[in-house]
Structure 1
Amino acid sequence: MSITFRENPELPKGNVNIIVEASEATKETIKLMQEIKALQQRNMNTIAIEANGGFEIIPTSSIVAVENDGEMLNIHALAGKENAGRKSPPITTFTTRDTLVHFLTRLPSDFVRISRQALISVRHLRSLKLSYSGNMSASLDGGMEETVGRRYVPNLRKIIGA
């Protein structure tokens, strides 16, 4: 087996493309690809952001939505466990300096961009309602509502299988 690094300036900053090449698919090559995938998933269970004069470690499974606010991002995450009598736990908002495009590359594949200013986790999507001018309204856990821009509706529908 040989391991080679090849620089590709066409890839977005922070992205890595892994290609496994062999003369044929074997148990070893399949196992290697599964281990790479598992490593990627382990690294995406939490995300560290610089906030409040330090670093906050946020479970990616708790992130409901991320919104761009100028040069800052507002990360909306579920706080605590579900309480009896509540439909979902309250939302905690973390603010950090980052871009939406870069932040999205650090998240697992269940996050999708819904406008120029926002992205959501489809894991926390409760419903979509048609809105005026081709937009949609997304209802999310924690009582959040986000507008899905008409340009982003086809991709979101494809991802959720609608």
Structure 2
Amino acid sequence: MKITIETPGPGEEDEIIIRMAELNDEILKTIRRLKDGASKDNMAVYADETIQMIPTREILYFDATDNHVFAYTKDNCFETRKKLFEIEELLSGSSFLRISKNAIVNLKHIDRLSPEFNGRFIASLKNGEDIIISRGYVPELKKKLGIKK
């Protein structure tokens, strides 16, 4: 694959041209990120009628409730306009991990894990909040944290 980067002339608009015989999933994800203006470093969230950019490292977890996805930080709760699967794709390969059908947690904000009945875990976050890790997601959590069975 050849990559060409050119600096536009004065008055010219920035432009990205993709010329490929076949678009694969990875390229499509990259295009989606470019269109959204999203990155792993910051995320656009909504508070009242304003849009704020917050560092993703400050987000403790995401929770989907009633067709809305919320991002929780230490002190605030913000609404996002993304679906949970979009956030999961965007933050793949980072410290974020899907822990249930409706939640993604930032592993860096977990203070301790406690096993619960039926194979679930309770994650106690550094802000004192507890969230449930569904048993179907526990193996991936253990793998990502390097915990043996």
* Pairing 1:96-115 to 2, within 5 Å after superposition: 96-107=80-91, 109-115=94-100
CA contact (8 A) 1:47 1:106 kept: no
Shift of 1:95: 1.7
Residue matched to 1:8: 23
The alignment partner of 2:23 has SS state of coil
Question: Which residue of the partner structure matches residue 76 of structure 1?
Answer: 72
Task: Quickly say closer, same or farther: Cα 1:94–1:150, change in 2 above 3 A.
Answer: same
Q: 1:104/1:16 Cα in 2 relative to 1: closer, same or farther (>3 Å)?
A: same
Report the counterpart of residue 104 of structure 2 in structure 1. Answer: 119
Superposed CA RMSD in Å reads 2.4
What's the TM-score, normalizing by structure 1?
Answer: 0.68
List alignment gaps of at least 5 residues for structure 2: 4-17, 32-38
Larger relative contact order (Cα-Cα within 8 Å, sequence gap ≥ 6):
1
| Structure 1 unmatched runs, 5+ | 18-42, 79-90
- Aligned with residue 76 of structure 2, among 86, 92, 97: 92
Over the matched positions of the two proteins, sequence identity in percent amounts to 27
SS of 1:66 mapped into structure 2: strand
> Would you say 1:161 and 2:139 are equivalent positions?
no
| In 2, Cα distance between equivalents of 1:122 and 1:160 | 8
Aligned partners of 2:118, 2:137: CA distance in 1, in Å? 13
Preserved CA contact (<8 Å) 2:44 2:80? no
In 2 relative to 1, CA 131–13 (structure 1 residues): closer, same or farther, beyond 3 Å?
A: farther
Q: Which moved more, 1:43-52 or 1:98-107?
A: 43-52
Distance 1:5 1:119, change over 3 A: same
Deviating beyond 4 angstroms after TM superposition, the runs of 4 or more aligned structure 1 residues are: none
CA distance in 2, matches of 1:12, 1:139: 34
